[in-house]
């Protein structure tokens, strides 16, 4: 609060002047007492924060305009910087891929309207649908413009393992949804050997490994409970979004930052039940395979005599112990239940449809043992026997197994329909989020 301006003119009568001065001082003190001292403090604090961020952004913009991160200009105590000891080399401003470099791609949310002074009230609708109130400007006030969702094998300096690819895709949709709503830029980073098989690369990523290694999980996955009907069909879980936004804002503000970028790992469910088609298009671009991988997938389709969108995938998720080759046998009840469900779902629900008379069937599973068992029961089913891997659970990713797992993912994306059978109540994120991304009809059942 600014004190009232005191205007008076000294004349020869010094007593009157002194009395006038005292009177104005008393009036000013009484006005101050009538106001809440906390509001004065808060107003001054907010002003100081805004002024500090203006100066901070001017300094950062001058560096970014050079397209070079000058490590000599980084203050060791700067909250968005890193210690000079941690920074091993000058980093090009374009260390993150620019989706505009590929003429077939486009940036869906460029975030060009970012302004540190953009402080209008964005919280007016925050209490809708039971969502707790939160202040999005806390992120802006940190100077953050770009939110990077990072997929790598380890987090928190090796303490935490990543989760599966489907979980990462799911969390990326949450990020796209959040960034579009609040006008932040977004980027998806693969900081592991998966990137070797993807068309879009992250440039100069080795230069920021010290930052990426320290990323912590965002722990709120906004799941209230699993959602399974009496026939065993698994639907998307019932979500609890009450605290998701306030928790996410807290998490972003506390996460690793570097020159307007924040680096995170999020696998939360998107709040909206329907994913925007432009976000699916963005993820399809991010997940586009290299020319070499495309050639392999096409050869697999040719060898198995499968045509694009002319085959149905039966996807089996028997469990991580099979995926990690810790088990290779199944109990009779599991096999019988699986076979009965496949027979009913395919030969009753699909063969009665004239449009499916000539449809082919491909088995994709998390282990080769179950493929051989089902092939014996259903000789006409197609199988591909390759060693695959789990992308999460701290498993050391081997190039050949990663490539084979991605081939399964792209085969799923080329199918007409996906029938998934999972031993987990949450289903299979690998096939579910593939189906979501590529707009493929999907059913998942619980078979334990």
> Is the per-residue pLDDT at 113 higher than 70?
no
Q: Which two tokens stand for residue 332?
A: 């009779």
H/E segment holding residue 177: helix 165-182
Convert the pLDDT of each residue in 60-76 to its tens digit.
Answer: 333 333 332 222 333 33
CA 205/CA 258 separation, integer angstroms:
13
Q: Tell me the pLDDT band of 46, cut-offs 50, 70 and 90.
A: very low
Considering the domain architecture, whether residues 253 and 342 belong to the same structural domain is answered as: no
Percentages of the chain per state (helix, strand, coil), in multiples of 5: 40, 15, 40
Q: Which two tokens stand for residue 342?
A: 């496949």
Considering the domain architecture, whether residues 102 and 224 belong to the same structural domain is answered as: yes
- The verdict on residue 3 lying in a domain is no
Considering the domain architecture, whether residues 97 and 229 belong to the same structural domain is answered as: yes
Count of structural domains, the chain? 2
Of 171 and 105, more confident: 171
Lowest mean pLDDT among 88-97, 165-174, 429-438: 88-97
Considering the domain architecture, whether residues 226 and 371 belong to the same structural domain is answered as: no
- Beta strand pairing call for 417-422 and 442-446: parallel
Considering the domain architecture, whether residues 307 and 343 belong to the same structural domain is answered as: yes
| Domain that includes residue 69, residue range | 57-286
- The verdict on residue 179 lying in a domain is yes
Average pLDDT for residues 291-314, to the nearest whole number?
95
Considering the domain architecture, whether residues 328 and 214 belong to the same structural domain is answered as: no
Average pLDDT taken over every residue of the chain = 76
CA 309/CA 415 separation, integer angstroms:
5
DSSP E strands, 265-392: 311-317, 360-365, 382-383
Q: Tell me the pLDDT band of 131, cut-offs 50, 70 and 90.
A: confident
Average pLDDT for residues 228-255, to the nearest whole number?
95
pLDDT at 120: 28
Considering the domain architecture, whether residues 243 and 352 belong to the same structural domain is answered as: no
Considering the domain architecture, whether residues 83 and 219 belong to the same structural domain is answered as: yes
> Is the per-residue pLDDT at 125 higher than 50?
no
- The verdict on residue 39 lying in a domain is no
CA 294/CA 299 separation, integer angstroms:
9
pLDDT more than 70, % of the chain:
65
Considering the domain architecture, whether residues 281 and 301 belong to the same structural domain is answered as: no
Q: Tell me the pLDDT band of 80, cut-offs 50, 70 and 90.
A: very low
pLDDT at 99: 34
- The verdict on residue 41 lying in a domain is no
Convert the pLDDT of each residue in 390-423 to its tens digit.
Answer: 454 444 457 788 899 999 999 999 999 999 999 9
Among residues 235, 437, 419, 434, the alpha carbon closest in space to that of 311 is found at 419
Cα 104 to its chain centre, rounded Å, is 22
Considering the domain architecture, whether residues 203 and 77 belong to the same structural domain is answered as: yes
Average pLDDT for residues 134-152, to the nearest whole number?
95
Of 113 and 169, more confident: 169
Among residues 421, 415, 416, 413, the alpha carbon closest in space to that of 448 is found at 421
Considering the domain architecture, whether residues 256 and 295 belong to the same structural domain is answered as: no
- The verdict on residue 121 lying in a domain is yes
Considering the domain architecture, whether residues 134 and 198 belong to the same structural domain is answered as: yes
Cα distances (Å, whole numbers) of residue 276 to 131, 174, 271: 21, 11, 12
pLDDT at 54: 44
Q: Is 169 helix (H, G, I), strand (E, B) or coil?
A: helix
Model pTM score: 0.71
Average pLDDT for residues 9-25, to the nearest whole number?
43
Convert the pLDDT of each residue in 331-376 to its tens digit.
Answer: 899 999 999 999 999 877 776 565 666 789 999 998 889 999 999 9
> Is the per-residue pLDDT at 276 higher than 50?
yes
CA 241/CA 271 separation, integer angstroms:
7
Of 171 and 100, more confident: 171
- The verdict on residue 389 lying in a domain is yes
Here the CATH number for the domain that contains residue 341 is 3.40.50.11350
Average pLDDT for residues 31-53, to the nearest whole number?
46
Lowest mean pLDDT among 4-13, 154-163, 249-258, 431-440: 4-13
- The verdict on residue 433 lying in a domain is yes
Question: b vs e for 137-173, b when ≥16 Cβ sit within 10 Å of the residue's Cβ?
Answer: bebbbbbbbbbbbbbbbbbeeeeeebbbbbbbbbbbb
Q: Which two tokens stand for residue 397?
A: 């990713």
Last residue of a domain, one of 244, 263, 286: 286
pLDDT at 130: 61
- The verdict on residue 306 lying in a domain is yes
Last residue of a domain, one of 269, 286, 303: 286
Centre a 10 Å sphere on the Cβ of residue 64 and count the other Cβ atoms it contains. 15
Last residue of a domain, one of 267, 286, 305: 286
């Amino acid at each position: 609060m600014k004190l009232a301006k005191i205007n008076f003119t000294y004349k020869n009568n010094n007593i009157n002047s002194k009395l006038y001065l005292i009177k104005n001082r008393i009036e000013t003190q009484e006005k101050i007492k009538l106001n809440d001292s906390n509001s004065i403090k808060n107003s001054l604090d907010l002003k100081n924060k805004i002024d500090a961020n203006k100066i901070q952004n001017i300094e950062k913009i001058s560096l970014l305009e050079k397209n070079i991160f000058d490590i000599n200009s980084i203050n060791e105590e700067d909250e968005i910087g890193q210690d000079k000891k941690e920074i091993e080399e000058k980093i090009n401003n374009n260390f993150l891929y620019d989706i505009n470099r590929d003429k077939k791609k486009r940036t869906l949310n460029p975030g060009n309207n970012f302004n540190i002074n953009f402080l209008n009230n964005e919280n007016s609708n925050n209490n809708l649908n039971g969502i707790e109130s939160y202040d999005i400007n806390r992120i802006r006030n940190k100077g953050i413009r770009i939110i990077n969702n990072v997929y790598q094998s380890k987090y928190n300096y090796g303490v935490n393992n990543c989760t599966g690819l489907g979980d990462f895709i799911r969390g990326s949709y949450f990020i796209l949804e959040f960034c579009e709503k609040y006008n932040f830029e977004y980027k998806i980073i693969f900081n592991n050997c998966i990137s070797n098989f993807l068309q879009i690369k992250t440039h100069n990523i080795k230069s920021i490994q010290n930052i990426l290694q320290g990323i912590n999980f965002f722990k709120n996955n906004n799941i209230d409970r699993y959602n399974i009907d009496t026939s065993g069909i698994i639907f998307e879980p019932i979500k609890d979004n009450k605290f998701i936004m306030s928790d996410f804002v807290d998490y972003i503000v506390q996460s690793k930052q570097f020159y307007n970028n924040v680096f995170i790992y999020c696998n939360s469910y998107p709040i909206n039940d329907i994913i925007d088609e432009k976000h699916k298009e963005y993820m399809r671009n991010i997940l586009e395979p290299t020319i070499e991988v495309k050639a392999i997938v096409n050869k697999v389709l040719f060898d198995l005599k499968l045509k694009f969108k002319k085959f149905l995938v039966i996807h089996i998720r028997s469990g991580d112990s099979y995926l990690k080759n810790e088990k290779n046998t199944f109990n009779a009840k599991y096999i019988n239940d699986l076979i009965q469900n496949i027979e009913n779902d395919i030969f009753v629900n699909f063969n009665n449809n004239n449009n499916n008379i000539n449809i082919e069937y491909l088995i994709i599973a998390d282990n080769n043992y179950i493929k051989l068992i089902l092939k014996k029961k259903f000789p006409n089913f197609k199988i591909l026997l390759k060693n695959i891997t789990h992308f999460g659970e701290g498993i050391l990713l081997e190039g050949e197994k990663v490539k084979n797992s991605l081939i399964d993912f792209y085969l799923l994306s080329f199918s007409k329909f996906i029938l998934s059978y999972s031993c987990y109540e949450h289903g299979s994120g690998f096939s579910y989020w593939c189906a979501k991304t590529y707009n493929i009809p999907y059913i998942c059942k619980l078979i334990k």
